[in-house]
Amino acid sequence: MEKSLNSSSMPEFKGNLRSKLPKAGTTIFSIMSGLANEVGAINLSQGFPGFPVSEKLIELYYVALKSGHNQYAPMQGIFTLRECIAEKMEELYSCNYNPETEITITAGGTQALYTAITAFVQEGDEVIVLEPSYDSYVPAILLAGGISVHVPLQPPNYSIPWDEVRKLVTQKTRMIIINTPQNPTGSLLTAKDMLHLEKLTDGTDIIVLSDEVYEHILFDGYEHQSVARFPKLAARSLLVFSFGKTFHATGWKVGYCLGPEQLMKEFRKVHQFTVFSVNTALQHALATFMLNKENYIGLPSFYQEKRDYFQKLLKGSKFKILPCLGSYFQLLDYSKISQEKDTDYAIRLTKEHGVASIPVSVFYSVPKDYHLLRFCFAKENDQLEKAAERLMKL
């Protein structure tokens, strides 16, 4: 007789388990998406684009597979792709990264972040994290034996209190992590912020890890202030990017990391024993696709239209719309509707009103509840319309 798929067949592990991440459970993203599927809600919780990948890019991938690009790529990534990235960085941010020694292709942004943290953070080192923040930073710091030191940022603008940050810098500070445009808040770091950071780290051994995966998603004419624009800062920084965000292909998990040779050498030592190398055929496809700048230059206006449309649909609702200058996330304040905890309200909103979001308190190490929910607006208009119709009724 066939065994039921649900029956557990492995004997239990009876040994003493010492979890390296005792507090980590299922992520809120999986929980909210699971709940959205279960109750048939519109899922604006997880941050993935609801648009198809370009047919041209899929074709290029197919051609690369058919042409035999199916064995290991070089550890650092194929040269033509690294060369395209170097050219793009020079054109957009007037900086020079050597494709031979200063650029590495990674299995997405998350791997690049993990590898950078693992390469530089040692037992007892402190890492400054501005919160709310993307959820992979702190576990990676803990796995490296480091200590995360948190700087809470306040809504609605989430500006960085540099005097507070300065007070937290000690002899043990090894790294500062920044993220612009920022997930989950949609805020940006300005040129002034970068100069503050430059001054703060001047004369120290601190490494800056700059998460710039949303580099092409900025609105209202703002320009992306990449760390790469600031040579003194760039000299101590590793920058992380993701093709998933730029080409609506988060499932493909390809990204890259940039940094000066001395830092990149250490990064690659860890990279080669983590993934060694990244999907070869995809790298070939991306290298050809990137040659046409139209494939990413239009992103700000594409997403600005989405943001404006979502905000317009919500005009007159009881939700307060927070500023969103970049990324594809909109924060909404529900305090005029309910005083429930944001984690409870997000679940109730999904179950009873059919719209899934992410409660912002989960992006803090010590949860701070400002009654805010994060909605991803990288979705087709009909999805945004249906979601807004439901939210307007509250």
Residue 290 identity:
M
Footprint (CB under 6 A) of ligand PMP, residues 195-234 = 211, 213
Map tokens 């239209």 to a residue: 305
Nearest C-alpha neighbor of 134 from the set 187, 189, 175, 183: 183
Closest alpha carbon to 253 in 31, 36, 10, 48: 48
Place of tokens 């650029």: 103
Q: Is 104 near ligand PMP (CB under 6 A)?
A: no
Residue 47 near ligand PMP by CB under 6 A: yes
Q: Tell me the site size for ligand PMP, rule CB under 6 A.
A: 14
Is residue 108 at the binding interface for ligand PMP, with CB under 6 A as the rule? yes
Give yes or no for residue 99 binding ligand PMP (CB under 6 A).
no
Rounded CA-CA distance 204/215 in Å is: 27
CB 322 within 8 A of CB 333: yes
Report the Cα 332 to chain-centroid distance in Å.
20
Give the helix/strand (H/E) hosting 273.
Answer: helix 261-274
Min dist. Cβ of residue 164 to ligand PMP (A) = 22
Interface pick for ligand PMP out of 43, 118, 173, 179 (rule CB under 6 A): 179
Nearest approach, Cβ of residue 179 and ligand PMP (Å):
5
Do residues 179 and 133 make contact, with C-beta atoms less than 8 angstroms apart? yes
Q: Does residue 255 bind ligand PMP (CB under 6 A)?
A: yes
**Position 237 contacts ligand PMP (CB under 6 A):** no
**115 binds ligand PMP per the rule CB under 6 A:** no
Residue 131 interacts with ligand PMP (CB under 6 A): yes or no? no
Identity of the residue, 76 or 133, whose beta carbon is nearer to ligand PMP in the bound complex: 133
Contact call for residue 242 and ligand PMP (CB under 6 A) = yes
Nearest to 81 by CA among 97, 68, 67: 97
Q: 148 - beta bridge partners?
A: 127
186 binds ligand PMP (CB under 6 A): no
| CB of 227 vs ligand PMP, minimal distance in Å | 14
Q: How far is the CB of 286 from ligand PMP (least distance, A)?
A: 13
Amino acid at 4: S
Judged by the rule CB under 6 A, the positions of this chain that interact with ligand PMP are 47, 108-110, 134, 179, 183, 211, 213, 242, 244, 250, 253, 255
